Amino acid sequence: MRTAFLITAKDLRQRLRDRSAFLVAVIAPLALAVALSVTISGFSAGSKTYQIGLVNLDQGPAASGFSNAARGAPVNLRPAGTEAAARGQVKSGKLDAAIVLPRGLSAVSMGGAPVRIDVIGDTKNSIGALVARSIADSYATYTRTIAVASRALHANGAATVRIAGEVASANPPIAVGDTSTTRNNLDPKTYYAAAMAVFFLFFAVQFGISSLLDERRDGTLARLLAAPISRRSILGGKVLTSLALGLTSMTVLALTTRLALGAHWGNPIGVAVLIVCAVLAAIAVTAFVTTLAKTHEQANAWLSIVSVVLGMLGGSFFPVAQAGGVLATLSKGTPHAWFLSGLQDLSSGGGLSAIVEPSLVLLGIAVVCGAVALVRVRKLIEP
């Protein structure tokens, strides 16, 4: 066992000296996690307050009712003066969109002639226009409700005003609440921190097992086999190298993204268990792929292809499981998907029991791939 540790120490010193492991295991995943989380969070719900201009040509009580319709929406209503001024501000980007309240709008609920609410948008900011359109539709529904109630009750002007107040203050008969997305899905910062960590994990652990091909190419493997060193110690040293690099990479990324980005990984014990299981699965998969190669270059090419394909199917770049269909089924065969699934349950407040299934699947992948690799690895360490 001491010999295995010496081989591991030698490999780690070599990787620290050329800084390749540090770049792949820490710098690259952290940089991508920051870039993706910042980019995607800009499109998340509630992440932006839209600046919506309001052109009030009616100059009646309709404006106050319109403000009630916009209540709760992520918008900031700003007076925009005239319609022409509003169009200019939307075109220049000062406003995300604008809404024009026409003359006679206040009279509609009193039985007046129908009018049209115009929404001013820009093709460069389609989301802002959709937000403004949604608010306008909400107000139109509000106005129709008052008009229908007034006609049904044969109400006069004073009674119509009272009805309008009751409609504005009443709670909706049906409320829609988001429970699955808020409680079960990871926020962008956590998702991409974890996704990039497990994606680059497969590149980080390659430095251990695949270095056997380097040793064989450089002739140092023959020297090790000629020395009183067992094949078991050589293989054990390479596996320990991969284990050390994988655990270090995942732990550093988990702590760094938690402190620097505010990522919420969940229960530390559960996260630690998932990390260990994911590292073991990654080592086994890379070991299996390495034993299929004959040269160092071939192994690097195959490992890169396998790592990228598994990462894409496993949801490292986008949540494949939400797409459904064949892709969602295929993703269940990747360690990435099971790691993210377990972390998802932990982050949403699940206990340690929530990671039992993901952990067992990851260990199953490690056992199956590891057993096949162990049978084939003898050919790899032949002198």
Type of residue numbered 297: E
**Full set of structural domains in the chain with CATH:** 2-42+187-380 (no CATH), 50-178 (3.40.1710)
Q: Please give the model's pTM, rounded to 2 decimal places.
A: 0.63
pLDDT class of 276 with cuts at 50, 70, 90: very high
**Residue-level pLDDT at 46:** 47
Query: What is the reported pLDDT for 81?
Result: 84
The rounded distance, in Å, linking the Cα atoms of 38 and 192 is 10
Candidates 285, 82, 140, 137; CA nearest to 198 is 285
* The pLDDT of residue 94 is above 80: yes
- Chain-centroid distance, C-alpha 134: 27
- Specify the range with the lowest mean pLDDT, choosing from 45-49, 113-117, 322-326: 45-49
Does the structure show a pLDDT above 80 at 131? Answer: yes
Average pLDDT over residues 165-177: 45
- Measured distance CA(304)–CA(298) in Å, rounded: 10
Q: What is the pLDDT of residue 167?
A: 46
Residue type, 115: V
pLDDT value for 363: 94
Q: With H, G, I as helix, E, B as strand and everything else as coil, classify residue 42.
A: coil
In sequence order, the 6+-apart residues with CB closer than 8 A to the CB of 327 are 313, 320
235 pLDDT more than 50: yes
**Among the ranges 12-16, 88-92, 151-155, which has the highest mean pLDDT value?**
88-92
In one letter, which amino acid is 290? T
Does 142 score more than 90 pLDDT?
Answer: no
Cα torsion 274, 276, 281, 283: sign: positive
Backbone angles phi, psi at 332, to 5 degrees: -70, -10
- To the nearest whole number, what is the mean pLDDT of the chain? 77
Contact predicate 36/199, CB 8 Å: no
CB burial class (10 A; 0-12, 13-18, 19+) of residue 335?
buried
Residue type, 49: T
Task: Say if residue 318's pLDDT is above 90.
Answer: no
pLDDT at 149: 58
Q: What is the pLDDT of residue 274?
A: 93
d(CA 318, CA 43): 14
Q: Which two three-digit tokens encode residue 310?
A: 């598994």
Q: What percent of the chain has pLDDT over 90?
A: 10
For range 17-45, the mean pLDDT: 70
Which residue has better confidence, 222 or 117?
117
